[in-house]
Amino acid sequence: MQELLPSTSLIAKILLGFVVGGLIGLERQKKMDVDRVVGVRSFGLHSLFGTLAAYSSTLTEDYTILIYAIAISTMLTAAQIYYKMFRTPGKGQTTPLVFAISFVLGILVGLDTTVDSQIFGTLSVLAMTVSFGVFIVLWFKEELAHAVEVITRDEMISAVELGVIILFLWPIMPETVMVGTIAYPAFTIYLLIVILLAVSFANYLLVKKYKDKGIFFFGFFAGLANSEAAVSSVTDFYVNSERRGTAKISISIILANVAMVVRNGFLLLILDSSFRLLSLFIVPMMIIIVISMVRIILEEHSEHHGEGQEFDTKLVSPFEFGAALRFAAIFAVVYLVQLVLTQYFSDPGLIVASIIGGFVSAGAVVAGAATLFVSGQITISVAVPVIILATIMSVLNKMLYVYLADRETKLLKTVTRDSVIVGVLFTVYLALVSLGVLV
């Protein structure tokens, strides 16, 4: 008996063939005016045209239909380009370009093949990803245009440098490099450098944009890159501003700690694909987030917030290679110390290393412990205490940085109180995990 109803995969292919173009057309439709004649329907049907042509050619093994469709699409796109160039000069060529892209995305959907019970194959996923990416770029084009207008030469150079580091070094970076008998995780170190540079660059842009809203943005976003440096900066600002706004400064410092803990959780997410370490680190993350929220609520009306203080970030460069390279060097040294102490003193030696290393760089200790756990050199019962102890030390060391920058007791008392509360709660959680109560 002839099957009249199409299969589920065919229906999905037809729908997706329209959607990948229609999504792009949705943004064009939003700004429809007399100078623009294509929208959701035109873009969606154009991509569906490519899907039907590619699918039919593959099914019949005759690519005449596909060639015919490409010729028609070329003429339609050429008409759009002509209209833009000679009938609406100065309007740009974005619409013809994305109109052509929608046809290519439709072809990808039509050529896609699936295995087993899959509905969408690799080419369909690629088409959906590109379609969504184009939609995002078009939707935020005003913000992107504004960013380009105000971008400086140093910012442009930094963006290019970051792109070169990612695009050219990523494919050739080896997994490990043998240094004597020690296998250094070269790719892990490289990945951490890329992450720190990207975070630093994003932090620069955010602080530049939102610095007029106070020091809270700086405390958090700078803490993502280096919480110790963030605390030193906001404390110097506090001293230079005649020690006004103690509550604001203390909240900024605790936000730097929040960012540090969140960053450590992000490192665990990247390095441990089993998520076992991250699952046990979620509670410390939630503890410090809740404490910061409570502190913000309690301090909201404790001081006048109309002081008009603006934090002078004194940023010289969008990101500093030196900071990322120093982190990589610290990671390499901490990783070596952890290996040596583990080899000669077993687990107790690694715990001691985490306390010492956490005071210098909790991120390096966390990354090193996660790497050792993933490689099977330490167990989870050792990795978790190492990670949490390093985080505790990184929270407590803020008291020292505040004391070194400001010998007055007002801010120091507040920061000490906040740090001790977080440290005690982290310690209690670690004790419960070590005793097996929460595992």
| pLDDT at residue 23, rounded to an integer | 86
Q: d(Cα 354, Cα 364) in Å, to the nearest integer?
A: 10
| pLDDT at residue 141, rounded to an integer | 65
| pLDDT at residue 335, rounded to an integer | 65
Same domain flag for 212 and 338: yes
For the cut 90, the answer to whether the pLDDT of residue 12 exceeds it is no
The answer to whether residues 238 and 246 touch, using CB atoms and an 8 Å cutoff, is: yes
| pLDDT at residue 253, rounded to an integer | 86
For the cut 60, the answer to whether the pLDDT of residue 14 exceeds it is yes
| pLDDT at residue 435, rounded to an integer | 82
| pLDDT at residue 338, rounded to an integer | 63
| Model pLDDT for residues 333-380, shown as the tens digit of each residue | 766 776 676 666 666 777 777 777 777 678 778 888 888 888 888 888
Q: Among 96, 131, 147, give the residue marking a domain's end.
A: 147
Q: Which domain holds residue 409?
A: 152-434
Q: Is 439 within the bounds of a domain?
A: no
Same domain flag for 122 and 188: no
Q: Is 290 within the bounds of a domain?
A: yes
Same domain flag for 210 and 344: yes
| β-bridge partners, 179 | 182
Q: Is 386 within the bounds of a domain?
A: yes
Locate all alpha helices (DSSP H) within 211-273, ordered by sequence.
216-240, 246-271
Q: Is 401 within the bounds of a domain?
A: yes
Same domain flag for 69 and 140: yes
| pLDDT at residue 203, rounded to an integer | 56
Same domain flag for 289 and 419: yes
CA nearest neighbour of 251 among 309, 198, 199, 202: 309
Same domain flag for 187 and 124: no
For the cut 80, the answer to whether the pLDDT of residue 390 exceeds it is yes
CA nearest neighbour of 195 among 34, 73, 328: 328
Same domain flag for 65 and 177: no
| pLDDT at residue 322, rounded to an integer | 56
CA nearest neighbour of 124 among 223, 53, 222, 20: 20
Q: Among 147, 182, 201, give the residue marking a domain's end.
A: 147
**Confidence band for 326, pLDDT divided at 50, 70 and 90:** low
Token digits of residue 225: 């890159």
**How large is the C-alpha radius of gyration of the chain?**
28
The total domain count for the chain is 2
Span 294-308, average pLDDT: 63
Same domain flag for 120 and 209: no
- Mean pLDDT lowest for which of 47-51, 192-196, 274-278? 192-196
| pLDDT at residue 106, rounded to an integer | 92
Same domain flag for 232 and 109: no
Same domain flag for 113 and 252: no
Question: What single-letter amino acid sits at 7?
Answer: S
Same domain flag for 137 and 183: no
Question: Average pLDDT, whole number, for the chain?
Answer: 76
Task: Assign 435 to helix, strand or coil.
Answer: coil
Same domain flag for 201 and 295: yes
When comparing pLDDT for 244 and 36, which is higher?
244
| pLDDT at residue 382, rounded to an integer | 85
| pLDDT at residue 424, rounded to an integer | 92
CA 320 to chain centre: 18
Q: Among 120, 147, 174, give the residue marking a domain's end.
A: 147
Q: Is 145 exposed, middle or buried (0-12, 13-18, 19+ CB in 10 A)?
A: exposed
| Model pLDDT for residues 210-265, shown as the tens digit of each residue | 654 556 777 787 777 777 767 776 777 777 767 777 787 888 888 888 988 998 88
pTM over 0.85? The answer is: no
Q: Is 66 within the bounds of a domain?
A: yes
| Cβ-Cβ contacts under 8 Å for 379 (sequence gap 6 or more) | 373
When comparing pLDDT for 275 and 197, which is higher?
275
The answer to whether residues 421 and 392 touch, using CB atoms and an 8 Å cutoff, is: no
CA 376 to chain centre: 27
Q: Is 3 within the bounds of a domain?
A: no
Span 367-395, average pLDDT: 87
| pLDDT at residue 421, rounded to an integer | 92
| pLDDT at residue 425, rounded to an integer | 93
**Confidence band for 286, pLDDT divided at 50, 70 and 90:** very high
Q: Is 1 within the bounds of a domain?
A: no
